[in-house]
Amino acid sequence: MLSKELVAASTVPIVLSVLTDGESYGYALIQRVRELSGGRIEWTEGMLYPVLHWMEDQGLIESEWREAETGRQRKYYRLKKGGRKALREEKEQWMSVHETLTKLWRTQPHST
């Protein structure tokens, strides 16, 4: 299980990355992340919505209420240009953390 802080910090890049594959809605986003992380990333599900609304406010994503095949009204979220740009920046930052840690741990084989 990821720490609370890391979950909070990674929510925006994860949502942006999932939406790169196409539009989605809250519940499906959570399912996808649970599946991809093998259950290690557990969001308090309701907390995702304020984050989505914040991202929409920041111009990263946009949303639309639409009827799904099941007849249920759902709010779909889709990536905007600003979101793609933000994702590129996030990617760079997370990759630099990842690379630094990887290099460090490679040179310290006995520390773990």
Partner 1 sequence: MENSAAFDLSGALRRWLDALAQTPEIKHENLKELEVHVRDSVTQLQTKGLSTEESFLVATHRVGSPARLGPEFGKVNGRLGNLLAHGLILLFVSLACFFLWSILLLPGVMPHWIAGREGIKTILPPAFSEWVMDSRSFLVGPPLLALAYCACIVVNPRRRSTSWTGFFAASAAGLLLLALPVGIAVLLPIIEFMNRLASHSIFH
Q: Where on the chain is the footprint of partner 1 (CB under 8 A)?
A: 25-28, 31, 44-47, 49-51, 53-54, 57-59, 72-75
d(CA 44, CA 24) in angstroms, rounded, equals 18
For residue 40, the Cα-to-chain-centroid distance in whole angstroms is 14
Q: How far is the CB of 43 from partner 1 (least distance, A)?
A: 9
Q: Which is nearer to partner 1, 42 or 99 (CB)?
A: 42
Q: Which is nearer to partner 1, 44 or 107 (CB)?
A: 44
Collect all residues with Cβ–Cβ distance below 8 Å to 14 and sequence separation of at least 6: 33, 41
Tell me the two tokens of residue 80.
């905007």
Q: How far is the CB of 105 from partner 1 (least distance, A)?
A: 34
CB atoms within 10 A of CB 102: 10
Q: Which is nearer to partner 1, 8 or 101 (CB)?
A: 8
Q: How far is the CB of 26 from partner 1 (least distance, A)?
A: 5
Q: Which is nearer to partner 1, 49 or 105 (CB)?
A: 49
Phi and psi at 77, nearest 5°, equal -115, 140
